Amino acid sequence: MKRFGLIALVVMALTACDKEGNTFTVKGTIEGAQDKTLCLQNKSLGGTVILDSVKLGEDGHFEFQAQAPQTPEFYQLTLEGQSINFSIDSTETVTINARQPGMGSNYEVSGSENCEKIRQLALKQQGLQQSVVALLNGNSLTREEAVDSLNRMVSNFKDDVTMNYIFVSPSSAYAYYGLFLTLGGQNIYDRQNPEDLKVFAAVATSWDTFFPESDRAKHLHNTAMKGLTDNRIATAREQTSIDESKIVSSGLLDLELPDASGRIRTLTELEGKVVLLDFHAFSTKESSARILEMRELYNKYHAQGLEIYQVSLDADEHLWKQATQALPWISVYDPNGTSAIKYNVQAVPEYFIIDRSNTLQKRSSQVDNLEKELLDYM
């Protein structure tokens, strides 16, 4: 009995330690905020969630404990419209001392390098906003001069954040935070901008390496890959003119693209079959569900004459080859995105139905039930 009691005490102690080890602590003081309510919020990808709150006393002291995240996550303290952003990596303790009014720019933080860097970035962001407001309220510049000054301000800001924060440690929470800084409600880093996209890619690659199971890593990956695909399509749109010799008598624009073995595959070689021309990006989150749907259609109707000609618009050729190794249909790769321009593809996935005479019949926006439409042409 005594031995059982000892074991029970050890188990209870270990359980208590484990429970304690799975929490983080944020504590400190907010001066000048007596009787005000301070909230702790989680700024998750799905939205902001209130975790706890406290009514501050005369000394302004507060202390919150919450479940520690397994990968870097972002939080904020809020009070009367003011907020302080910080990150938590695991079971750390962060101390924040602030003063009201204006606690969002009037605070110190200790216990975390990430949190200190986020504080610096937040102050830089506020400084940029103030400079822009002053510029827009000024009357000494012409509109063209004001736009030029604004562009230089933003460019200098991004250079500073990129070189002194993001590229210094792209796997850090503060690099992620810097990547999504805003100005006037718009992201300062634009994934449609090729130079900004390099910054997205650097952070995405690092988070893929260090936090592969993190929702934020997956979000970054999808954001970067979509940006790469969009940029390739935009570049091709600027550079491509349609070669009229590629337009066959049916009005179909033929494609000549390589499959994984290097063989050039065309649409015209598929005359006599019902073709589902599918534009796809395997890097997108919709890819798996889309491939399952196409497998079902292919398995049911290939023997009746259905063929799938799938064009990958992925930026990563290796990813495409890996993803298509086991696919039974024709899968080709468009390194420049020119095929998407020819067919006026604005986003993926997108598809078209081509009948047995090699005539283009419908695109996705004209189809209510894909399986039924395909059967109509069998």
The confidence score (pLDDT) of residue 32 equals 93
Q: Which residue, 46, 120, 115, is CA-closest to 76? A: 115
For the whole model, what pTM was predicted? 0.62
Per-residue pLDDT at 13: 42
- 31, 233, 281, 309, 333 from 320: Cα distances, Å: 56, 17, 8, 14, 8
**What pLDDT does residue 91 have?**
77
pLDDT tens for the chain, 378 residues: list them: 334 444 444 434 444 444 445 899 999 999 999 999 999 999 998 889 999 999 999 999 999 999 999 899 999 999 988 999 999 988 789 999 999 999 999 999 999 999 999 999 999 999 999 988 888 777 777 878 888 888 899 999 999 999 999 999 999 999 999 999 998 888 899 887 888 888 888 898 889 889 988 899 888 887 887 777 776 666 665 555 445 444 444 557 889 999 999 999 999 999 999 999 999 988 887 888 899 999 999 999 999 999 999 999 888 888 899 889 989 999 999 978 888 888 888 788 899 999 998 888 888 988 899 999 999 998
Nearby residues of 356 by Cβ (< 8 Å), 6 or more positions away: 271, 272, 273, 274, 305, 377
Residue 28 backbone zone (phi > 0: left; psi -120 to 50: alpha; other: beta): left
Note the pLDDT of residue 90.
82
The pLDDT, as a whole number, for residue 17 is: 41
Integer Cα distance of 47 and 84 in angstroms: 17
Interatomic CA distance for residues 191 and 354, integer angstroms = 34
Cα(52)–Cα(127) distance, integer angstroms: 30
pLDDT at 169: 92
Confidence at residue 232, expressed as pLDDT on a 0 to 100 scale: 65
